[in-house]
Amino acid sequence: MKAIILNLLAWIMLPVMDGFAKYLSTTIPVLQITWSRYFFTVVIALPIMLIFFRKNFKWTEQPKLQLIRGLLLFCANILFFYSISVISLAKALTLAFIAPLIVTILSPFFLGEKVGIRRWVAVIVGFIGSLIVLRPGFVEINLASVAALGTGVLYAFYLIVTKKLHKSDHPLLTLLLTGTVGCIIGSMIVPSVWVQPTITEWYMMFAIGFFASIGHLFLILSLKYADASKLAPFGYFEIITNIIIGYYFFNHFPDNSTFLGLFIIISSGIYIFRREALNRLN
C-alpha cells in the first residue's frame, strides 16, 4: 500500500510541473523553461543526497550510459514542453504515452527480450490509439503533436537505458546525474534565448524543478516497496491530474477522440505490462 501511495503522489506532482511549464511558455522560451527544470532539480537533489543518502553518493559504474540517459531526457523535456506550449496537456501526454509501446518494439534489439505475438498485437492496437488522437486526414497534424510523439520515442529509449543502469547504479545517484547532465547542457544553450524573468516567473521556474525533484523522489521511494512492473500501470494516473490542471487553469478538456485514443493506448500499455510481469514470474 505504501508503494502505491508514493507512486500516486509522484503522478500528482509531475503534472503540476507540466502546468507551470505550460503557463510560463507564453512569456519564457521553452529552452529556458527546460533549463530551470534541471538547474533547480540539482539545487534541490544535491543537498538531499548529501544529507540523507551520503553512503550512496559514489561515482557511477557506467558514465557513458548516464550521459546518454541525461541527454535523452533533456531532449524529451524540450519536445514535451514545446508540445504543451501549443496543444493541450492531455493531448500531449496521451501521445507521449506511446513510450511503453516503443519500449516493447525496441526491447528485442537493446534488451534481448522476446516479444510474443500477443504483445505485438498490443503494440499495433496502441499505435491505432495514437492515430485516433492525431486523426490524420481529418485534422491538420501540427509540429506540436509530432513533438509529443517524439517525446514518447525519446522517453522509450530513456526507459531502456534506465533498465540497463538499474543493476549498477543507485537510483538516487542516477536522478542526480541526470539532472546534472541536463543542467550543464541547458546552461550552455540558455544564454542564447534568455529572457529576464519577473520575480513571479522565477518562483514558477523554481517550482518546476521542485515538483520534478519531489515527483521523481517519490517514484524512486515507491520502487523500494514494490516491483516496477506492478507499479507501472499506476503511471497512467498522471493523465487524471493532467486533465484537471488543463481544464481548471487553461480551459482545455479532451475531446471524444482523445479520450478514445487514450483508452486504447492505456489498455494496450497495461496489457504489455501484465505480460512482462507474467514472463518474469515464468
Range of the domain at 32: 2-281
The pLDDT of residue 59: 73
* pTM as predicted: 0.86
Check if the beta carbon of residue 144 is closer than 8 Å to that of residue 22.
Answer: no
**Nearest by Cα to 254 from 242, 267, 268:** 242
For the chain, percent helix, then strand, then coil, each to nearest 5? 80, 0, 20
C-alpha cell, 15: 503534472
Rounded Cα–Cα distance for residues 282 and 280 (Å): 5
Rounded to an integer, what is the distance from CA 56 to the centroid of its chain? 24
* Cβ-based neighbours of 24, under 8 Å, separated by 6 or more: 33, 201, 204, 205, 208
The pLDDT of residue 38: 95
The pLDDT of residue 140: 60
The pLDDT of residue 216: 82
Query: Mind listing the pLDDT tens digit of every residue in the chain (282 residues)?
Result: 777 888 888 888 999 999 999 999 999 999 999 999 999 999 988 887 777 767 766 777 788 888 998 999 999 999 999 999 998 888 888 888 888 788 888 878 776 767 777 777 877 887 788 778 777 655 567 899 899 999 999 988 888 887 777 666 677 777 888 889 999 999 999 999 999 999 999 999 999 999 998 888 887 778 667 666 566 667 777 888 888 898 888 888 888 888 888 888 888 877 777 766 666 555
Rounded Cα–Cα distance for residues 279 and 227 (Å): 14
C-alpha cell, 81: 514542453
Domain count of the chain? 1
The pLDDT of residue 230: 66
